[in-house]
Amino acid sequence: MTLQDLETPAGIVDLARARANIDRTARYCREHGISWRPHVKTHKSLEMARLQIAAGASGLTVATPREAEVMARATDDLLFAHPPAHPAKIRRLAALPGELTVRVALDSLSVLRDLCRAGAAAGRTFGILVEMDAGARRTGVLQPADALRLAEAAATLPGGRFDGLALYPGIRLPRAGLAPALARLARRLESFRAALARAGLPPRIVSGGSTPTLWNSHRIPGLTEIRPGTCIYNDRDIVGMGAAAPEQLAYSVLATVVSTAVPGQAVVDAGSKAISREVLGSGDPGFGVLLDRPGVLVRAVNEEHGMLDLAATTWRPAVGEQVRIVPNHVCVSVNLQDRLWGFERPGGPLRPIALDARGRAPDPASAAQPSRASAP
């Protein structure tokens, strides 16, 4: 099967670019002595996760029980980076294979107590990373004293172990002013580390990082590991921030032109259910651009329609012509697909890429499969 044979819309992966992105990230981490624990939310794929582990990732980051259950077949070291406040999520984490190291990032005593209670009942110990707010105002305690209280509880509760700190920088590039923002983050992180060290609980792990700040992670003193996920494929937002180059875009959505009836516009069969309706954090308009014509904007989307703005180009596509769209945010677009299709070389044959960790239901294969990366 080739692109011309594929029913659209469909998510497409340039596998050579994806592997190059993996190798580039692994090389950066080796050069700077930082562990790499990629977030699987972007690719949702055992195949891609195993490529990351083979390249040197120390473990994987997950955000849902389904991701944890699936990725236990790719690694023996997971970080659950989303507070498991619901009892069902805690039960599923406690039921993961016993040989699996599971750490959880959280910011509340109630979740910590419930998690540790479940861990003790299951005969396992959860490593706890206390999440601190690094400026994103999303999750994370605001004061070092709050982090210390959680760390002390994690160190004493059966079923728990205090392992360190987690943070999400929440810094956008380049408009946020990177150097001052990184300096503020470094000072804030040091205040938390110092408070814990004074109490005899120095954080062994400081887990942070994101794709926008990936290549500046070494400028944050004390950071021991990073969790970027988007960097495996990249997207319009990441390129717009300067954290990736256009030739490092490994994901696109193949679409077909279905109408050219309105002058200055072409309509494709990829709308919000294929590329998503997510807007750029920069405030720039549109929901994506064409891969080979980045000046052509997906101006608007309905559920099944994407409207291409042709005002800035002389290109006039015909009905039936295929295009490849780079979405604003790749993670959301991937999650909308049933599977992806990968190619090794442009114009070459396609093969399916399973999205093993997509969805919420328990993974039916997790109980029957070994949890190590060497699993077949």
Mind listing the pLDDT tens digit for each residue in 24-36?
A: 999 999 999 999 9
pLDDT, one tens digit per residue, over 110-165 is 999 999 999 999 999 999 999 999 988 899 999 999 999 999 999 999 999 999 99
- CATH code: domain of residue 274: 2.40.37.20
Mean pLDDT of 266-281: 96
Residues 55 and 155 in one domain: yes
Range of the domain at 318: 239-354
- Note the pLDDT of residue 105: 98
**Lowest mean per-residue pLDDT among 169-173, 222-226, 232-236:** 169-173
pLDDT band at 374 (very low <50, low <70, confident <90, very high): very low
**In the listed set 173, 202, 231, which residue is the last one of a domain according to the structure?**
231
Residues 285 and 321 in one domain: yes
- Strands (E) located in 95-226: 101-106, 126-131, 160-166, 205-208, 225-226
pLDDT, one tens digit per residue, over 181-195 is 889 999 999 999 999
Residues 6+ apart with CB under 8 A from 286: 280, 297, 298, 299, 309, 328
Residues 227 and 246 in one domain: no
Burial of 305 (0-12, 13-18, 19+ CB in 10 A): middle
Residues 245 and 298 in one domain: yes
Residues 257 and 216 in one domain: no
Residues 69 and 160 in one domain: yes
Residue 228 · residue 211 · CB < 8 Å: yes
- Note the pLDDT of residue 199: 98
- Note the pLDDT of residue 59: 98
pLDDT band at 176 (very low <50, low <70, confident <90, very high): low
Residue 4 is assigned to a structural domain of this protein:
no
- Note the pLDDT of residue 163: 98
Residue 304 is assigned to a structural domain of this protein:
yes
Residues 115 and 27 in one domain: yes
- Note the pLDDT of residue 157: 98
pLDDT band at 175 (very low <50, low <70, confident <90, very high): low
Cα–Cα dist 320/259, whole Å: 9
- Note the pLDDT of residue 135: 85
Residue 127 is assigned to a structural domain of this protein:
yes
Residues 31 and 69 in one domain: yes
Residue 296 is assigned to a structural domain of this protein:
yes
- Note the pLDDT of residue 368: 56
Q: Quick one: what percent of the chain has pLDDT higher than 70? A: 96
Residue 220 is assigned to a structural domain of this protein:
yes
Mean pLDDT of 364-369: 70
Residue 376 is assigned to a structural domain of this protein:
no
- Note the pLDDT of residue 252: 98
Strand order in the sheet with 225-226: 35-36, 225-226, 205-208, 160-166, 126-131, 101-106, 77-80, 60-62
Residues 38 and 80 in one domain: yes
Residues recorded for the chain: 376
Mean pLDDT of 53-68: 98
Mean pLDDT of 243-247: 97
Residues 159 and 290 in one domain: no
- Note the pLDDT of residue 367: 59
Mean pLDDT of 279-297: 95
Number of structural domains the chain divides into:
2
Q: Please determine, for residue 62, whether its predicted confidence score (pLDDT) is greater than 50.
A: yes
Vertex 58, ends 57 and 61: CA angle to 5°? 85
**In the listed set 209, 231, 253, which residue is the last one of a domain according to the structure?**
231
Residue 364 is assigned to a structural domain of this protein:
no
Q: Please determine, for residue 102, whether its predicted confidence score (pLDDT) is greater than 90.
A: yes
- Note the pLDDT of residue 369: 53
Residues 227 and 243 in one domain: no
Mean pLDDT of 39-62: 98
pLDDT band at 109 (very low <50, low <70, confident <90, very high): very high
Residues 26 and 135 in one domain: yes
- Note the pLDDT of residue 372: 42
Residue 123 · residue 156 · CB < 8 Å: no
Mean pLDDT (the chain) is 95
Residue 5 is assigned to a structural domain of this protein:
no
- CATH code: domain of residue 150: 3.20.20.10
pLDDT, one tens digit per residue, over 293-323 is 999 999 999 999 999 999 999 999 999 999 9
**In the listed set 181, 200, 231, which residue is the last one of a domain according to the structure?**
231
